Amino acid sequence: MSIMRKEIFEQPEVLRKCIETNGITVTALVAALKKHDVKFISIAARGTSDHAAIFGKYVFEYLVGCPTCLAAPSIASVYGRKLDLRGTLVIGISQSGMAQDVLEYLEEGKGAGAITASITNNIDSPLAKAAEFHLFCNAGLEKSVAATKTFVTEMMLLLMTGLIWSGNTDYLKLCGTVPDLLEQSLESLEGSAKQAAEHLKNIRDCITLSRGFSYPIALESALKIQETCYVKAKGYSVSDFYHGPIAIADESLQTILIAPESKMMHDFEQVAKRLREAHAGLTIISPSESLRSYADFFFPVPKTDEITAPFVNAAAIQLLACKLADEKGINPDMPRMLKKVTITV
């Protein structure tokens, strides 16, 4: 059994600890945001954490109506350009808390008078200590190079912040459904992931697709498949896929569509139809039986609301990557040329 698989199965308990640990800090952060009438958010992150940040963008813009951007950390760390970040919440996300460029961007925000928050899995890290508010993943030691439980806790912390900021007084109930749902479904997800991996075992490249709150899961799917299986993968929003990349759709293209029950269902149905017309390979991860007829392989997942579906979909694609690595005879815990902590400047 791989460490990656073990850490995926730790997610229900890890998420419970994350929610319990951070309620007071998130509430204090939101109080500061309201006091200073913050109108804009800038999030700095890399890799998997960057995908969590994109989820945060959807959370803050949908729940709070607060415009949110993804920072270019090198503006501070390489180009040395000063930014006017007054009235902004600057969030730095790094599992290790060691990302130097993210740290420099956060410190730039602090120097400009922004409210600063960090999300890390290391309370003693430079990023944790630099921020005014530190949100702690509390995921325990993550040994596998491929991030799994730290990714979902980063998303949870962003969701908690958005829910409390929006005035949702029942946020604990909504957040608490996620670990319960994962606990109930991980074994069935693993069975489907194994079957999907057997179906996809010979792929050398693929496209991953979704839209809305699960768009970052499409990006994370591609990253997980790249780093654990050495497959050339690229993630797209369905809407961006139409703007050019769909031209490559033919019988040689393998695609993975992540399609939760959501306001985007019509888009998912339309892209699935067009991919089938192009004779592209299509694996669909969805709770919707209406999509089954389009798929070469249908990967069922539990139905949940649009905002919490990314947690279920994240576990599904993590397990798929893990099982696909097994099919290819690759150790997913130790990808070549990668280390657990990546320092970028």
Residues labelled as active-site residues = 340
Residue 89, C-beta contacts closer than 8 angstroms, at least 6 positions apart: 33, 38, 40, 41, 42, 114, 115, 116, 117
Count of CB atoms within 10 A of residue 210's CB? Answer: 34
Half-sphere exposure of 336 (CA within 13 A, CB side): 6
d(CA 212, CA 258): 11
Q: Among all chains, which residue has been given the structure tokens 């893990």?
A: 322
Q: How many CA atoms lie within 13 A of 73 on its CB side?
A: 23
CA separation for the pair 124, 108 (Å, rounded):
20
Helix residue spans in the chain (DSSP H): 3-9, 11-35, 47-59, 74-77, 100-111, 126-130, 149-165, 171-200, 215-229, 238-241, 265-277, 309-327
Which of 221, 224, 249 has the alpha carbon at shortest distance from 235? Answer: 221
Q: Which is it for strands 68-70 and 88-93: parallel, antiparallel or unpaired?
A: unpaired
- The Cα 116–Cα 8 span in angstroms is 30
Nearest alpha-carbon partner for 186 in 333, 1, 7: 7
